[in-house]
Amino acid sequence: MTCQHCQELLTDYQHGELDAASDAAIYAHLESCAQCREELAAQSALSQVLRATFASELEMPTSVLAGVRQAVRRERAPGLIEALRALLRPVVLAPTAAAIVLAVGVVSYVHGTNSAPQLSADYFVQQHVAHTMDSQSGDRAWNAYLLTSNPDATANAPAH
């Protein structure tokens, strides 16, 4: 670790906000670097002065408070990439994907069945009669009547 790197992290070190590895690295560097120890001592003295000066609780101006809150919200609001990264975390992605797959399946099933046209009972009977005109179970006049009823409903193409 260099002295520059150490001094950049001194404030966080002083307030115990570093992770364990960085904290240990700074501690080890301070053991061997007098310059950085002096810098740490100076920052600690400044902190004590400030703490003594503002020991009594002071009301923060409203405009400052609003500005701080706004800044905090801006910092907290994730960007698009952060938002996507958050969504792609396994703990979120797995149940989300399962729900999407399930929803797509249900929608396609419902869509696939419900959107299919409903054929009429007469259509089935006409098809049956057309394919059994050679049967001996009925008479030709009745079967021909059935076959030729509702001609507009069964017509589909001009003849040649």
Part of the chain binding other proteins (CB under 8 A), chosen from 10-18, 62-70, 87-95, 122-130: 122-130
Q: Confirm or reject binding of residue 7 to other proteins (CB under 8 A).
A: no
The single residue listed with the structure tokens 């100076």 is 42
Q: Which of 55, 58, 81, 116 binds other proteins (CB under 8 A)?
A: 116
The label of the residue with tokens 């009925």 reads: 138
| Cα 26 from Cα 36, distance rounded (Å) | 9
At closest approach, how far in Å is the CB of 78 from other proteins? 44
Site for other proteins in 128-147 (CB under 8 A): 128-142, 144-147
Q: Does 121 bind other proteins (CB under 8 A)?
A: yes
Residue 145 sits at the vertex; the CA angle it makes with 144 and 149, to the nearest 5 degrees, is: 115
CB of 110 to other proteins, least distance (A): 11
What 8-state DSSP symbol labels residue 17?
Answer: -
- Give 54's DSSP letter: T
- Encoding tokens for residue 30? 């301070």
Our finding on whether 106 is near other proteins (CB under 8 A) is no
Where do contacts with other proteins occur on this chain (CB under 8 A)? 113, 116-142, 144-149, 151-152, 154-160
